[in-house]
Amino acid sequence: MPLLVMKFGGTSVADLARIRNAAGKVADEVARGFDVIVIVSAMAGKTNELVRWVNDISPFYDAREYDAVVSSGENVTAGLMALTLQEMDIPARSWQGWQVPIVTTSQHGAARFVEIPREAIERKFAEGMKVAVVAGFQGVSAEGRITTLGRGGSDTTAVAFAAAFGAERCDIYTDVDGVYTTDPRISRKARKLDRIAYEEMLELASLGAKVLQTRSVELAMRYKVKVRVLSSFEPVTDTSGTIVCDEEDIVESKAVAGIAHSRDEAKMTLQGVADRPGIAAAIFGPLAEAGINVDMIVQNISDGGLTDMTFSCPTDQVPRAERALTEARARGDIAFGGLVADTEVAKVSVVGIGMRSHTGVAAAMFRALAAEGINIKVITTSEIKISVLIDRKYMELAVQALHDAFALDKAA
């Protein structure tokens, strides 16, 4: 029997009516001949309530107890979904993480899968069960404690099950109808993509297009799991949603697949840094220890033995970054003249696997921005991405100009 994994996020199971709606989509796939593994999130808002309680008790909570508490929302949804399917005469049962058991590492709050044994669920499928409903986001450690995968972890659970069971496809039902060429709130010309490559999705996910959790895309890429992102609030057709797949399965061949943006970026510049071997390590070591997510890094050319070092990081990490660098200077580990933080910046990126074969993408990007009079503060590139830091007030303008420049409103 072909097998499908279907995952429903918090807004898709926010109340009994929505659970019924989701169950209807599962029933449709069963009618098409699939055995289905359903992965569910907690009902919207439930996990936040639990997290708030834990934080109210102690900001320095025991992560093992945190996991025991916050994982309970998914258990409730799993049971309710199984009951709803049974009410539709579909043989279904729920599994909590420890019942499968979904074995993970002991890194509570950020656990990683060790093993997903198929025996228990496959035995039930063999006995006539049509749908296994599994609580997402959770697992159990070798010590028998409940673990969680970190926020958004249910996407990762879904992809991991699809990989473990060799599922035909992993359908991620959410509140948007797919992956767009850019944020539709910024450009009305944004177009839904029929397909997108893993690598592109990975860049878009990590750049702030919050459709899929980054780790779930990494996992899908590693195990070649075909993922479809689609809306749980619209009828499902053959062209619904966006398929995330291997680049070989993509027929379209544009240089650029989409434009990503992030408001949540700050630019920090260390002025008057001695330009000597090992200086980068001396600067970024303390930042890494302080848990700062440094993104872009640029070093200016040296001027009389001194240079400027510029990097970007999330805006809310600026105070911690400043403290880490000031303390490193106080310890004598580094020397610099000044430290300037610019929190009024934004990052705009063009992403596309086509860049590997198409030349001139960077030039076209810089030309489009220059035509709008937008000054570029920092540039970084990867094989399939070009990112620029610009004044935040120009962010929307830049996204729209680039969307036009690469004609993303038109299919290839």
Site residues for a copy of itself per CB under 8 A: 16, 19, 50, 53-54, 56-58, 61-62, 64-66, 68-69, 72, 75-76, 78-80, 82-84, 86-87, 93-94, 96, 98-99, 144-146
* Closest to a copy of itself by CB, 83 or 236: 83
* Closest to a copy of itself by CB, 58 or 382: 58
- What six digits make up the tokens of 304? 């009389």
What is the Cβ-side half-sphere exposure of residue 180, based on CA atoms within 13 angstroms? Answer: 21
* Closest to a copy of itself by CB, 50 or 114: 50
Query: 273 with 195: CB under 8 angstroms?
Result: no
33 C-beta neighbours (distance < 10 Å), count:
9
- What six digits make up the tokens of 352? 């596309």
CB of 333 to a copy of itself, least distance (A): 36
Closest CA to 343 of 396, 269, 280, 401: 269
- Give the H or E element holding residue 306: strand 306-314
DSSP 33-63: T-EEEEEE-PPTTHHHHHHHHHHHH-TT--H
* Closest to a copy of itself by CB, 66 or 173: 66
Sign of CA dihedral 288, 55, 61, 115: negative
CB of 14 to a copy of itself, least distance (A): 12
Query: 38 with 3: CB under 8 angstroms?
Result: no
CB-based burial label for 177 (10 Å; 0-12, 13-18, 19+): middle
* Closest to a copy of itself by CB, 45 or 360: 45
Q: Backbone phi, then psi, for 8, in 5-degree steps?
A: -115, 125
* Closest to a copy of itself by CB, 57 or 411: 57
* Residue that the structure tokens 């007030």 belong to: 393
DSSP 343: E
CB of 200 to a copy of itself, least distance (A): 39
CB of 48 to a copy of itself, least distance (A): 14
CB of 31 to a copy of itself, least distance (A): 20
* Closest to a copy of itself by CB, 86 or 271: 86
CA–CA gap between residue 72 and residue 340 (Å, rounded): 45
Closest CA to 404 of 378, 376, 363, 369: 369
* Closest to a copy of itself by CB, 120 or 411: 120
CB of 80 to a copy of itself, least distance (A): 6
CB of 93 to a copy of itself, least distance (A): 7
CB of 397 to a copy of itself, least distance (A): 47
Query: 408 with 256: CB under 8 angstroms?
Result: yes
CA–CA gap between residue 19 and residue 12 (Å, rounded): 7
CB of 230 to a copy of itself, least distance (A): 25
* Closest to a copy of itself by CB, 26 or 170: 26
CB of 264 to a copy of itself, least distance (A): 30
Helix runs in 208-360, H state only = 214-223, 279-289, 318-330
CA–CA gap between residue 334 and residue 328 (Å, rounded): 6
* Closest to a copy of itself by CB, 148 or 310: 148
